[in-house]
Amino acid sequence: MILEDDVIANINRKLFERLLSDRSFKVHLNGEISKKKILQNGLPQGSILSPIVFDVYTADIIRTNSRKFIYADDIGIVKQGKTFEE
């Protein structure tokens, strides 16, 4: 994909890989801390690169006559029909 190649060429590849891999989280609740959980998908929030990564991530969404609602880093795709085939 052209967009992806351009972005990756202009951003340090190692930084880009770190942004998307080995991400985890813990929950702090009532003085207790959960076990660490590994994130399998999604994009980090708050990073200066997140809008660029989101553009790369969504650039190859199939073009259809469905409606797409995109706000910040969320997407909703809606299609209406009378049957599943529609």
61-83: per-residue pLDDT in tens?
767 777 777 776 677 777 777 77
* Distinct helix (H) and strand (E) counts, the chain: 3, 6
Q: Report whether pLDDT(35) > 90.
A: yes
Q: What pLDDT was estimated at residue 33? A: 92
What Rg, from alpha-carbon coordinates, does the chain have? 17
Q: What pLDDT was estimated at residue 73? A: 64
Q: Give residue limits of the domains in the chain.
A: 2-60
Average pLDDT over every residue of 39-53:
74
Q: What are phi and psi of 44, to 5 degrees?
A: -65, 145
Short-list 40, 1, 2, CA closest to 21: 40
Q: What pLDDT was estimated at residue 56? A: 76
Average pLDDT over every residue of 2-30:
73
